[in-house]
Structure 1
């Protein structure tokens, strides 16, 4: 995984657990005491077990990794009900009504060596989950009415999954993976946890919350009409690109506008596509007629929006990288698509000709981000080698120049829309400005206290903002590097003041 996914794993897991706990507590009514009765986690659930609601999630969590359509361990594919019942080398492993005689159940509860999942692959299926499987078999191992036996279970589970409502106050600081300025240069849109948040730059106050299906946003881009395209997803679960009207009408809570970007069609105005893992990058041409988005499936999807969002057309799916696509950029005319990959290369795709034209391998390490000069005459890339490199996006793709300056991995690069400037963000906790033509280093902008994962210029080119791992946001003036505003983009999160130094 790229460093920005793998770093501080323990803290990220702890944060997820805190969020889960806070959401569960707020969503569940308090249970009334039932005398001295204590519920056992291993008790079989009541009658009426649903295969898709109750059983399939257990299989996805414990079985699909080895028994998907590709691996088929033991020649057993478990990705549809039909294939589950067809079985592997030993045939149907289910004896309806008799879990004790069903290999399907026996292998997940056995204490012997031949256990599923295998001992070297993970922990045993929890007892309460195994009890659900047993009850389902006892009730006849039936498929839910209306569900096609050939239906892909991963997709069916994804469709049925319901996102949680973000807590009113975050119990921890959110990781900021994506930011963008609103078209009027007055607000910042920030990716949150199952939401987008909009902040007033002048005051640093929260103005709007837009609830989303995606757990995280990785790419944000406004169309000329003010609608917002968002690339994101749930890591390892699903990814998507959706378009929102962040100026739609919503309810007000404590002076903050709340928009339902999950169910309200006035807010969520277009769902372009979804895939089985996160979409990590997004690019839109200045005229809004072409959109490109790529991610963990190694593919970049290119859409023609020239006839409007309602008639969006997927024109091509570009599979030009051997690993995750971490960044993408489009030339202003939409002719060239530049991409950054975990495969240690930057690449150029001719969108019109539908062919690969350049591979740039000079980073020799993960390439996190790319940018392109407005006229398409120069490409720029940054990565884990701590370097900013410029090269010709046509011909042989030879490097023109490289520049150092950051002290750690460089995650993001963006071009100023009005001036020949670039901005980069880094794990060294800074944002840096560069001359686009010479790669001469400009100001190094301080004020953030953790890895700076993302950076953006305002539409008028006069401001630049960075967002960091610990939820920090800083906005500076491009002209002199003066700090305009700094705040934490975690709604309701109480930041701690640094302790005074001991004398």
Structure 2
């Protein structure tokens, strides 16, 4: 496909997008809204009964253009380019008091939209009038240029921006405008009548900036990242450049009143100048202080595709559809270099941070590097077969490119390819690299906006160039919150289980170790008790032997005494007349009876000693058995510890990944909850 075919497709897409319906804009976008043809009839019908040459309520006469521009008793009633600062519009639209017309319904929405569009377009008096220059809302010029990263936090939206798209198309279209903030995780994507801001860390939409002039064809962040510039318009009809404050989303500058769409634009590093170009082959440079034209360059002979100021603000490079490449002195527009080499349209360009090297890429498929000391082309390499569409320098002086071969690539500054990324579905268009040189973003004809990890080439996700309505976003994220909650609950349950398993393993190990101590103490106590039990058993056995000897002696004594007593009794019975025999016999019996009693006592002592000896012997035997049993128990307790110790590591190892999954699930859940809160708190777009 030739360069002219490419642009024709872009312009056809632009025209198609302008035909999509939008709310609050005059129906006839082709006609320039002017006072004589469009505004005066509305005034005649609704307003001039009270605001005419004869009756000027509030000192305001709307019957002529010059009278209207003089304002009323409270000052100007219209401000070019700013409906919200124009009391004529805000009172008629009933967004401020007193509502006009008084004591009457609001005038038709179409009339209000026409009035708004007239103000936006610059308050034209007639169809061939020039619009009034729209003065910037703030002075953004810098007293000096900061090289490298500015001090303080990187510029990110700090107020809640609109998240409801201006247009939701039936399908996405080619993304031809893309820019990455130089210092913040922020990417700007051109959409239909809007610019979409995404956080490249979270991949979430953080703002929608309406571009009411049509299709944005070029996006640029200022060198310090505080401003975002968009250029575009409607092919064959009009072109404009708009600059927003990144933190607030406020439109602060609008320049250009082109008769065709702006295809290229940039803001200088000191934020004093805005350059633009397009199909009219003219480079125009405006002041950001008062939006006035500073100078023009007319040397290009074909459509201007790319415009970029050098990072130091000294030079301005411009390129066109036939390969023309010019470098100018930014301060005054004097020609600095006319660089020749490309054989087809130059589709994109990028300055290295030190401003010493300019990279250009072309439909001739090459990337060329130009040094600014003498304007020489010191390196040329083939980038994309069939034609290259985008090129950007990173802060670490590498180059990222995109092209017709559908394969985004990253190169060192000597033209050595470092990585080719997964292909996009159709012809590759724009490319960008994030501020930390970590993510590459590439777009294509299908509307794909793909985000890659530079380090390993993996696809991190996609950004929508055609996001759904705010209500649909809320519904989708609400479902996502529910899904993420389920995942979080599962991760929480799994983590709780691993913690419980680890606690159980630790408790079992502690119990096993305590049992080792306990059984060891029991075994020692049992062993320590054995000598005592042995001594007692020996003592009891000795006592039994002694008792048995006493019994033996006493039994012998008893036997002797009983024999004597029996003999004496027989003698006494035989000699009854002899009283002494009877006496002696009685004494012998008494002695025998006493001996009998002693034998009985000795027998009891033997029985008691025998019982004690048996008991002590049994205690000793039990003590010995207990030593064996407790020693075995102690040994078993020691053997039970290693398995319990071995169970600790897998239980512990399971906790960390479960915790990581839980943390990731919590982060995902918190992120989607925060996104949902952000969506619910987003400003509702005016209807």
Q: TM-score range by the shorter chain?
A: 0.5 to 0.7
CA positional deviation for 1:424:
1.6
CA positional deviation for 1:177:
1.2
Distance 1:27 1:335 in 2: 40
Match of 2:432 in 1: 456
Match of 2:235 in 1: 235
1:144-159 to structure 2, matched below 5 A, reads: 151-153=126-128
Distance 1:474 1:480 in 2: 15
Distance 1:445 1:463 in 2: 11
Higher helix share: 2
Equivalent position SS for 2:7: helix
Matched, 1:429 2:415: no
Note the residue ranges of structure 2 that are not aligned, 5 or more in a row. 27-34, 40-122, 135-163, 473-687
Distance 1:27 1:299 in 2: 29
Distance 1:480 1:352, change over 3 A: same
Distance 1:377 1:270, change over 3 A: closer
Larger radius of gyration: 2
Asked if structure 1 preserves the Cα contact closer than 8 Å seen for 2:352 and 2:358, the reply is yes
Match of 2:258 in 1: 275
Match of 1:187 in 2: 186
Q: Please point out which of 439, 444, 456 is paired with 1:480.
A: 456
Equivalent position SS for 1:279: coil
1:251-266 to structure 2, matched below 5 A, reads: none
Match of 2:496 in 1: none
**Deviations for 1:172-223, whole angstroms, at most 9, x for unmatched residues?**
1132111223466333221111111122434544332222222211222223
Matched, 1:301 2:276: no
Distance 1:427 1:314 in 2: 37
Asked if structure 2 preserves the Cα contact closer than 8 Å seen for 1:218 and 1:232, the reply is yes
Distance 1:168 1:399 in 2: 43
Equivalent position SS for 2:263: strand
Match of 2:221 in 1: 222
Asked if structure 1 preserves the Cα contact closer than 8 Å seen for 2:270 and 2:313, the reply is no
* TM-score, length basis structure 2: 0.45
Between 1:237-246 and 1:370-379, the stretch displaced more is 370-379
Asked if structure 2 preserves the Cα contact closer than 8 Å seen for 1:341 and 1:366, the reply is yes
Distance 2:15 2:225 in 1: 40
Matched, 1:401 2:379: yes
**Deviations for 1:144-198, whole angstroms, at most 9, x for unmatched residues?**
xx986xx453867xx9xxxxx9666321113211122346633322111111112
Matched, 1:6 2:32: no
CA positional deviation for 1:411:
1.6
1:249-398 to structure 2, matched below 5 A, reads: 267-303=250-286, 309-311=288-290, 314-352=293-331, 354-393=333-372, 395=374, 397-398=375-376
Note the residue ranges of structure 1 that are not aligned, 5 or more in a row. 29-49, 55-145, 160-164, 249-258, 260-266, 495-503
**Deviations for 1:393-446, whole angstroms, at most 9, x for unmatched residues?**
454x44322111312221222111x2111112212222221222x122221222
Asked if structure 1 preserves the Cα contact closer than 8 Å seen for 2:386 and 2:405, the reply is yes
Distance 1:319 1:27, change over 3 A: closer
**Deviations for 1:373-403, whole angstroms, at most 9, x for unmatched residues?**
33333332211111111233454x4432211
Matched, 1:410 2:388: yes
Match of 1:497 in 2: none
Distance 1:380 1:280 in 2: 19
* TM-score, length basis structure 1: 0.61
**Deviations for 1:331-365, whole angstroms, at most 9, x for unmatched residues?**
22222211111132211112246322322232221
**Deviations for 1:281-324, whole angstroms, at most 9, x for unmatched residues?**
223344434432222222223345xxxx4456643222231111
Equivalent position SS for 2:236: coil
CA positional deviation for 1:327:
0.7
1:142-181 to structure 2, matched below 5 A, reads: 151-153=126-128, 169-181=168-180
Match of 2:200 in 1: 201
Distance 1:334 1:184, change over 3 A: closer
Match of 1:141 in 2: none
Distance 2:129 2:440 in 1: 41
Equivalent position SS for 1:293: strand
1:111-126 to structure 2, matched below 5 A, reads: none
Distance 1:351 1:13, change over 3 A: closer
Distance 1:345 1:196 in 2: 29
Distance 1:456 1:192 in 2: 16
Distance 1:147 1:405 in 2: 47
Higher strand share: 1
Equivalent position SS for 1:153: coil
Equivalent position SS for 1:454: strand
Distance 2:363 2:313 in 1: 28
Distance 1:441 1:6 in 2: 31
Distance 1:299 1:208 in 2: 33
Equivalent position SS for 1:176: coil
